[in-house]
Amino acid sequence: MLKKETRILGISAPKGESRWTPVIGVVFRGSMWLDGVTTCRFKPRDNHLIQLAQAILRTRQYSQLHAVILAREKLAPRAQIDLAELSRRIRLPVIAIIRRKKSGKMPRVKPSISHSTKIFDIEVHGASLSIKAADINREAARELFEVTCSDKYPIPEAIRISDLITKHLSKRIFIPRSK
């Protein structure tokens, strides 16, 4: 049984392309309190996994984190994060949200190729989510989402707030590259 104030780190980034992509991480205590914010930025040719792992390890709340949840697997264009490798580097479970659906039957998701990551469909507050997870089982992931999601939203508050910040950033300073 998880505590109501279990800390997680939710990570999000804008979807467009640019010379650099800002990545925002928000630490939440359960679904109640914002506990901290961390940032890093991805440059197109850098090793995104190493940068992300270093940013996570530098957070003041790292020692108290229970898990890391990514808004999606591809935080930056052409940069899919290897969840199992990230989990190994930071020594915490890592989850990426693949699909969100309010109710009804979930669309099929391609099975995971990696043996160390698993794809699960979970129900949170009446909504269905498909997640890809490393170092955590389905029941523990579902319980983590139950604790870290408010009653109104089926995604953890840390992800919701980091998404809001990145949307604001993309409108203010994120300028897409012309084609």
Q: Where along the chain do its domains lie?
A: 7-96+136-172
List Cβ neighbours of 167 (8 Å cut-off, separation of 6 or more). 14
Dihedrals phi, psi of 171, to nearest 5 degrees:
-75, -30
- Dihedral sign (CA 79, 80, 84, 90): positive
- Residue 170's pLDDT is 76
- Residue 42's pLDDT is 85
- Residue 141's pLDDT is 96
Contacts 24+ apart (CB under 8 A), 52-60: 52/11, 52/23, 52/81, 52/86, 53/86, 53/89, 53/90, 55/23, 55/25, 56/9, 56/25, 56/90, 56/92, 57/90, 59/9, 59/25, 59/27, 60/36
Predicted TM-score (pTM) of this structure:
0.87
- Residue 28's pLDDT is 97
List Cβ neighbours of 128 (8 Å cut-off, separation of 6 or more). 100, 101, 102, 103, 104, 106, 121, 122
- Residue 159's pLDDT is 97
- Residue 171's pLDDT is 73
Which CATH superfamily, name and number, covers 7-96+136-172?
archaeoglobus fulgidus dsm 4304 superfamily (3.30.2170.10)
pLDDT, one tens digit for every residue, the chain (179 residues): 899 999 999 999 988 777 788 899 999 999 999 999 999 988 877 788 999 999 999 999 999 999 999 999 888 777 788 999 999 999 999 999 998 665 555 445 454 445 589 999 999 988 999 999 999 999 999 999 999 999 888 899 999 999 999 988 877 655 454 44
